[in-house]
Every structure is written in C-alpha cells, then in structure tokens.
Amino acid sequence: MPPLFVYAAVFVFFIYCLRSIFNRRSLPLPPGPKPWPLIGNLPHLGSKPHQSIAALARTHGPLMHLRMGFVDVIVAASASVASQFLKVHDANFSSRPPNSGAKYIAYNYQDLVFRPYGPKWRMLRKISSVHLFSGKALDDYRHVRQGEVAVLARALVSAGTQSEPVNLAQLLNVCTVNALSRVMLGRRVFGDGSGGCDAKADEFKSMVVEVMVLAGVLNLGDFIPSLEWLDLQGVAAKMKKLHQRFDTFLTGILEEHKMKKGQDGSENQKDMLSLLISLMDNNTADEEGGKLTETEVKALLLNMFTAGTDTSSSTVEWAIAELIRHPQMLAQVKHELDSVVGRDRLVTELDLPRLTYFQAVIKETFRLHPSTPLSLPRIAAKDCEINGYRIPKGSTLLVNVWAIARDPNEWTEPLVFLPERFLPGGEESNVDVKGSDYELIPFGAGRRICAGMSLGLRMVQLLTATLVHAFDWELPRGLMPEKLNMEEAYGLTLQRAAPLVVHPRPRLSPNAYGVSN
C-alpha cells in the first residue's frame, strides 16, 4: 500500500474523529428552567417533587435538564424518552449516583438497591432472583402468603365487631412484613400477625416510613458537596440515628438465626437467611462476586424489609380507596370474585389469573398510584446523545414514572380511574407492568428493574382481592365515598397523606375466615 495513501487515510480518520468530538461537545443540553445561583433548580421542586417536575416538563418538554446545586439532573417524563434511557442506553445508566441515603442508611452502598453496577451487584441480584423471587421460590412459599392474608382477614373480622374503625395501612404493613419475614427468617416478626396493640409492629412501621421519607428528601449535601459537612437540613443526622435502630434490629435477627443454626443444624432451616448465612460461610459463594459478608447480608435484609413491604401495603391501600370511591367498580369486582371463588372460602393465588376485571383494576392502580413516583436515580457512566441533546457524563437520571402514567399523549382521560382501558378490546389491553411497556413502569425497567417485582405483584393482587371479596367497607362518621381524601404525601414511596380508616364488614360464610359461628 503506497505510504501517501496510508497518510491520507489516517488524516481523514483523524479529521472525522475531531469532527465527531466537536459535534458532540457542541450539542446543547436538554431544555429546562433557569437555575438559581449556587442552588440551581432545587427551589423549583417543592414538597412533592414528582408533581413539580411533571409541571416543569409540561413547559420545557419530556426530556429536561435541571441543575441541582453542582449536579446535572436529566428528567425523562414521557414513555419514548424513558425507553431511550432504560432500553437503548441502559448499560450507560446501570449504576446509582452518590447519595446520603445509601451512604448513611444502606451500609455505605453495600446493599442491592444502591450498590454500583458490577460483580458484587450481579452476585446479590443472582442470589435474590434464584432463591427468593424465582417462579419456583414464589410457588414454594405461596402457602405462607395465603396464610398471612388469612390471619389478616380474621383480624379484620374481629375488628368489624368493634365500634371504632381500623387503620388499614397499619394492618396491611403487619401482614406484608410477616409474610416476608416468614420467607426470609422462617418466623413472624410481629407476634400473631393480628396487629392489635403491637408496639413492636408500630415501631417497625414508623422506621420503614421514616426510611422512605428521608430517602425522598432532596438533601443539599448531595448536590452541593462543600455543604455536606454542615448537614443544614439535619437529614444526615436523622439517617445515622435511623441506621442504628435498623442495624440493632437486623443484627439481633442475624445473631439469633446463627445461634439457632448452630443448635439445630442447617438442614431444618429452609428460609432465605439460612441460605445467606451458608453463603457467608462459603469462601466460593460466587466466582465473580466473591464471598458474601455479614454487612451485605444485613443490607440485603434492609432492602427486603423496606422496599418489599411498604411499597406493597401502600399500593393495596390506594386500590381499596379507589374502589370505595367508585362503588360500581367495587360491585363489579365483587361479582367477579363471587363467580370465580364463591362465598365459602378466601381467594387463593391460583384464582388470580381468572379475574379479568380485577387484574385491570390492579393495573389502573399501579398507573395512577405508582409506589415509586420518581424512579430511583441512575448515573451516566459516559457522555451520550439522546434526541439530539448532550447528556453529560456524571449526570443523574430521574424517570418520572408518575408523570408518564398521566401523560395525555399516551392515555385517554389520564386523570380518571378507568380499569376498562386494560380489558380485552380496550385501548391499552396489551400494556403490562413488567418493564417492557414504557408508558407503565411502576417497577422500573432495564437492568435495575425492581428485583422483587414478581413478589410485589402477587402480594398486591392477593391482598387486594381478599379485602374486596371478604369485606364490605364503610367510611367512618358517615363520610361519603366521593369526599374521601386522595392527597399524596411524598417520600421515596407514594404514601397517602391521610391513612385509610374504615369499618370492615364481613360478607362471606364464617367458615371462610376460619372462625366459628
């Protein structure tokens, strides 16, 4: 090959590379509101960031740039934009940005939720997927979930004889925690599961809610590192104190389990924690991720007891509230349940696939009330281009799941609770919640999709179906259904501003609840 040709080819290639680099650097950032000096757009976010960011996106577009302190934040507020980040560029956004919640609560990024993408994360994900959330594992523990839901039903039967209404959120939380703890630990965390006068249950619920609230706070130290040491909002101090409470709780559980294992032998213990302890003792637990440490086990338990309980119970609470507000829909769900299940037994998980209208109600609840309204943040590993805009390396990505599910470009009457849209023949009949339809992603999508999605779906469906089938619901003090407070209280999860307080009235045969006449 003539030397001149080689030099010419190298020169052309060099110019091409320079031009590519220049063009990339010349691309604009996505549009967004003008930031304030130093603090950037933090004042624009208000007390409910998912709602404020949705309003900003209506003005500036579904791909939006915010400057929070010294951090570039990119917001995806439409299905098409979300798919660019979570599908096309998923590998580039597979890790989490630094944040105080992961640092001070989640054992300094040793957990599954906030750990950076890499061998250790893949190891934890594999352990969770194979041993806790696989189809076989879920089927093996079906009787546990159904048993705890039956305990809840009996507790509500007893509560129905009282004159005082019940706080449904508290009882739901006890049920979800005990169902998970029997799988994880082989025993209930809260007494007999009835939730009555259980100070330990109340304390644990408050700890979980505080985690979600603190994790949802926009901490100035995360966005202006030079101010982190001042802890101007007192968030870091609260996180450290809460971590100590959780660590005491989890350490006690772990030590008790290790002691029991030493006494009884591992053969008699088939719960998740026994497996994790055996992996701790095994130096070749995972060829890629290495040995599982005690801190990682506690961090994984923390993930399960926070992300796996409050999200499910709050979604069920929203579903029951929506059905109370829509009596005709409630009647239709009851009719379907009576037709499939009858009135002589409680719902089982095997009944759920046959409940077509009910499944539509659950999808609609996930749409209007996603448990995580703003997706957990991701970080750009390198510069990339999305829709003609430059996304800088180190940018934080937020997907506004709440806004996408209320986008009028995707949904007819987006603010109306309308399960019929998901029925066969409906405009959204083929849309699912499992991460492939980006207009409805309550569990996220891509590599960092919620590991416990399958368990969460089963718990939400079983709990909601049982509550609707087994009870009639009355609001206290003659409150009319249309007047029920549906305001949101923002945290990492989407809580109701006012807990759902109701009178449960049993509607099945007494034998269905396991109680005598």
Give the per-residue pLDDT at 308: 79
Q: Consult the annotation and say whether 450 binds a ligand.
A: yes
* Residue from 270, 130, 286 nearest 186 by CA: 270
pLDDT tens, residue order, the chain (517 aa): 445 544 544 554 554 455 445 445 579 999 999 999 989 999 998 889 999 999 999 999 999 999 999 999 999 999 999 999 999 999 999 999 999 989 999 999 999 999 999 999 999 999 888 888 899 989 999 999 999 999 999 999 988 788 889 999 989 988 998 998 888 888 887 776 565 556 666 777 778 778 877 877 778 889 888 888 899 889 999 999 999 999 998 898 888 887 876 666 544 557 888 888 888 876 555 556 678 899 999 999 899 888 878 889 999 999 999 999 999 999 999 999 999 999 999 999 999 999 999 999 999 999 999 999 999 999 999 999 999 999 999 999 999 999 999 999 999 999 999 999 999 999 999 999 999 999 999 999 999 999 999 999 999 999 999 999 999 999 998 899 999 999 998 777 888 999 999 999 999 999 999 865 4
154 exposed, middle or buried (CB, 10 Å; 0-12, 13-18, 19+)? middle
Element (H, E) at 398: strand 396-399
Length of the chain: 517
Distance between first and last Cα of the chain: 97
Give the per-residue pLDDT at 510: 93
* Radius of gyration of the chain, Cα coordinates, nearest whole angstrom: 25
What does the buried/exposed string (b/e) look like for 105-130 if buried means 16 or more CB atoms within 10 Å of the residue's CB?
bbbebbbbbbbebeebbebbbebbee
Give the per-residue pLDDT at 272: 82
Give the per-residue pLDDT at 259: 80
* Contact by Cβ (8 Å): 270, 186: yes
Give the per-residue pLDDT at 416: 97
Give the per-residue pLDDT at 366: 98
Task: Identify the structural domains of the chain with CATH numbers, from first to last.
Answer: 98-361 (1.10.630.10)
* Residue from 216, 171, 177 nearest 197 by CA: 171
Specify the pTM: 0.89
How far, in Å, are 101, 144, 341, 472 from residue 351 at the CA level?
39, 16, 7, 20
Give the per-residue pLDDT at 8: 45
